[in-house]
């Protein structure tokens, strides 16, 4: 009897111990649901969450496969080939930063030739909290020794340099540069017997002007689909430019935004470091903001890249030389639902350049301004300043370029369109059987 009793008591204690974890899990679950209901976007913006949540996120993309014959890349110059070889080098600073953090967001900085700006950007990046956890990829449009030197001097994280091998800046007398016999300005090919297809306004291509869109598209394709360093990477990539000052809190804020995105804004394709209005410092509210994707510090993942890549034909055939206007007017509208990005109420990056991309280097008309001068950091810009419990304010009305805009032109030449498509196909080639 005594034995029986003791053993019953022992069993009771045992079963309580077994049940306790279960009870705790249920309790936590209930608390979590209460947290969601209390704070969620769902309660504040039912229509936003329900109507505009893209239902097709997890739909598999048809694998993009292309025949070799679809890829028509120009004959390379010696410089172009040697830079392409350099693209295969492993990242620098592996001795100082042997490992990337498990949940890191890679950073792509795309640059042309404004060294005095790049210095400022690099200095700002060196002060970013967490920068040592990630890989910085610098994508160069053209080869410029001073730009190269600045990037080679970076010591605060792993750095991988890539050079667009088909940049018009690398071809002095053949396409994608200017070839002898090319039409110029408003030449009529039939009369002048010159090569080229004019844009919708009758103007022929200008290599300097098309280089930006080519670079952006080559870079996107390469960083997502053409590099060992990103193969199988399922995280986000942040994109910044040579005139974007990055605040010390940018990386930590971004990680938080990326984590909050699925919960707070299922309709958001991206996260941004700054408002889409480049002159805005943000509203300063105690709220997150969902709005159209801006150019300063946009961040997205491979799923979103897959959707963009599927629109290669639209991107490459739209007669507009600006990549961002091309995205707003053709690619995003083709997704079927409004495209939003999630950001904080204070910017974590600032566009500081006053010089246009094509003004920077002219010897007579050198445009040099002190980029540092117009970015003033407050203490709150140096620390994580986004709160996970904040609600999302949605700017539903998306201003600016939309579906229906015909484009500013500059992208009418068949050769540019073909090169652009080749960039989209070159990492997806199958051997024909
Ligand atoms: C136009 O381009 C073709 C093909 O590259 C070339 O053979 C031809 O000489 C060019 N025409 C002129 C007028 O230079
Ligand atoms: C990528 O981002 C989209 C939009 O935020 C999200 O719906 C999707 O689940 C993400 N994909 C992965 C693999 O995390």
pLDDT digits (tens, 9 = 90+) for 296-324: 999 999 999 999 999 999 999 999 999 99
Q: What is the pTM of this model?
A: 0.85
DSSP letter (8 states) at residue 168? G
Q: How confident is the model at residue 56 (pLDDT cuts 50, 70, 90)?
A: low
Higher pLDDT, residue 378 or 1: 378
State if residue 339 touches ligand 2 by the CB under 6 angstroms criterion: no
Cα–ligand 2 centroid distance for 301 (angstroms) = 6
Higher pLDDT, residue 60 or 272: 272
286 is in an annotated binding site: no
CA–CA distance, 223 with 295 (Å, rounded to integer): 18
The predicted structure's pLDDT at residue 375: 78
pLDDT at 1 over 90: no
User: Helices (H), strands (E): how many in the chain?
Assistant: 13, 13
**Strands in 28-133 per DSSP E:** 66-67, 106-111
Radius of gyration of the chain (CA): 25
State if residue 341 touches ligand 2 by the CB under 6 angstroms criterion: no
The predicted structure's pLDDT at residue 360: 42
pLDDT at 227 over 70: yes
For 33-47, 219-233, 408-422, which range has the lowest pLDDT when averaged over its residues?
A: 33-47
Q: 25 exposed, middle or buried (CB, 10 Å; 0-12, 13-18, 19+)? A: exposed
Element (H, E) at 23: helix 2-39
- Average the pLDDT over 393-422 and give the result: 95
Cα–ligand 2 centroid distance for 303 (angstroms) = 6
CA–CA distance, 240 with 252 (Å, rounded to integer): 16
pLDDT at 391 over 60: yes
Task: Give the model confidence (pLDDT) of 79-110 as tens digits.
Answer: 999 999 999 999 999 999 999 999 999 999 99
Give the residues across from 290 on adjacent strands.
Answer: 342, 394
pLDDT at 393 over 60: yes
Residue 237 dihedral angles phi and psi, to the nearest 5°: -120, 135
The predicted structure's pLDDT at residue 283: 97
The predicted structure's pLDDT at residue 15: 53
The predicted structure's pLDDT at residue 45: 44
State if residue 57 touches ligand 2 by the CB under 6 angstroms criterion: yes
How is the beta sheet containing 340-343 ordered, strand by strand?
A: 158-163, 135-140, 106-111, 236-241, 298-301, 268-272, 340-343, 288-291, 392-394
Q: How confident is the model at residue 178 (pLDDT cuts 50, 70, 90)?
A: very high
Q: How confident is the model at residue 25 (pLDDT cuts 50, 70, 90)?
A: low
378 is in an annotated binding site: no
CB burial string 104-117: b at 16+ within 10 A, e below = bbbbbbbbbbbbbb
DSSP letter (8 states) at residue 320? B
The predicted structure's pLDDT at residue 171: 97
Cβ-based neighbours of 208, under 8 Å, separated by 6 or more: 168, 358
Q: Which atom of ligand 1 is nearest to the CA of 179?
A: 14
Q: How confident is the model at residue 20 (pLDDT cuts 50, 70, 90)?
A: low
CA–CA distance, 304 with 322 (Å, rounded to integer): 20
The predicted structure's pLDDT at residue 383: 97
Higher pLDDT, residue 397 or 99: 99
CA–CA distance, 81 with 417 (Å, rounded to integer): 22
* Cβ pair 269, 302 in contact under 8 A: no
Task: Give the model confidence (pLDDT) of 320-369 as tens digits.
Answer: 999 999 999 999 999 999 999 999 999 999 999 776 655 444 443 445 55
The predicted structure's pLDDT at residue 325: 97
To the nearest whole number, what is the mean pLDDT of the chain? 87
Cβ-based neighbours of 262, under 8 Å, separated by 6 or more: none
Cβ-based neighbours of 10, under 8 Å, separated by 6 or more: none
416 is in an annotated binding site: no
State if residue 413 touches ligand 1 by the CB under 6 angstroms criterion: no
Higher pLDDT, residue 246 or 398: 246
Element (H, E) at 140: strand 135-140
The predicted structure's pLDDT at residue 398: 85
* Cβ pair 263, 316 in contact under 8 A: no
Mutate to test the pocket of ligand 2, among 230, 232, 262 (most ligand atoms within 8 A of CB): 262
Task: Give the model confidence (pLDDT) of 104-150 as tens digits.
Answer: 999 999 999 999 999 999 999 999 999 999 999 999 999 999 999 99
- Average the pLDDT over 377-397 and give the result: 96
CA–CA distance, 82 with 64 (Å, rounded to integer): 29
For 217-221, 369-373, 405-409, which range has the lowest pLDDT when averaged over its residues?
A: 369-373
Q: Which of 220, 207, 176 is nearest to 74 (CA)?
A: 176
């Amino acid at each position: 009897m005594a034995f029986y009793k003791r053993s019953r008591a022992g069993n009771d204690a045992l079963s309580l111990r077994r049940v306790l974890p279960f009870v705790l899990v249920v309790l936590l679950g209930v608390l979590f649901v209460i947290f969601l209901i209390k704070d969620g976007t769902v309660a504040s913006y039912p229509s936003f969450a329900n109507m505009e949540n893209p239902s097709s996120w997890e739909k598999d993309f048809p694998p993009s496969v292309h025949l070799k014959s679809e890829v028509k890349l120009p004959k390379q110059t010696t410089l172009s080939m040697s830079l392409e070889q350099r693209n295969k080098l492993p990242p620098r600073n592996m001795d100082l930063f042997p490992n990337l953090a498990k949940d890191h967001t890679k950073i792509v900085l795309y640059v042309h030739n404004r060294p005095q700006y790049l210095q400022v950007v690099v200095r700002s990046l060196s002060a970013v909290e967490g920068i040592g956890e990630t890989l910085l990829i610098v994508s160069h449009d053209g080869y410029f020794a001073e730009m190269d030197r600045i990037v080679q001097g970076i010591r605060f994280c792993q750095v991988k340099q890539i050079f667009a091998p088909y940049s018009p800046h690398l071809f002095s007398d053949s396409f994608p540069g200017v070839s002898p016999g090319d039409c110029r300005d408003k030449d009529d090919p039939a009369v002048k017997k010159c090569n080229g297809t004019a844009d919708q306004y009758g103007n022929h291509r200008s290599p300097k002007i098309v280089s930006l869109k080519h670079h952006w598209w080559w870079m996107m394709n390469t960083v997502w689909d053409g590099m060992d360093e990103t193969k199988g990477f399922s995280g986000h990539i942040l994109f910044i430019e040579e005139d974007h000052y990055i605040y010390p809190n940018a990386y930590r804020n971004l990680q938080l935004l990326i984590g909050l995105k699925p919960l707070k804004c299922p309709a958001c394709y991206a996260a941004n470091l700054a408002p889409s209005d480049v002159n805005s410092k943000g509203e300063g509210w105690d709220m997150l903001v969902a709005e159209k994707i801006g150019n300063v510090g946009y961040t997205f993942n491979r799923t979103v890249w897959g959707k963009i890549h599927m629109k290669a034909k639209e991107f490459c055939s739209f007669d507009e030389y600006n990549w961002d206007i091309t995205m707003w007017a053709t690619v995003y509208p083709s997704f079927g639902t409004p495209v939003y990005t999630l950001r904080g109420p204070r910017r974590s990056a600032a566009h500081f350049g006053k010089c246009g991309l094509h003004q920077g280097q002219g010897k007579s008309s050198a445009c040099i301004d002190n980029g540092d001068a117009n970015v003033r950091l407050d203490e709150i810009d140096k620390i994580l300043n986004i709160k996970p419990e904040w609600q999302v304010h949605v700017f539903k009305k998306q201003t600016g370029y939309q579906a229906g805009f015909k484009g500013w032109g500059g992208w009418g030449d068949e050769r540019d369109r073909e090169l652009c498509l080749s960039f989209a196909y070159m990492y997806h080639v199958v051997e024909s059987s």
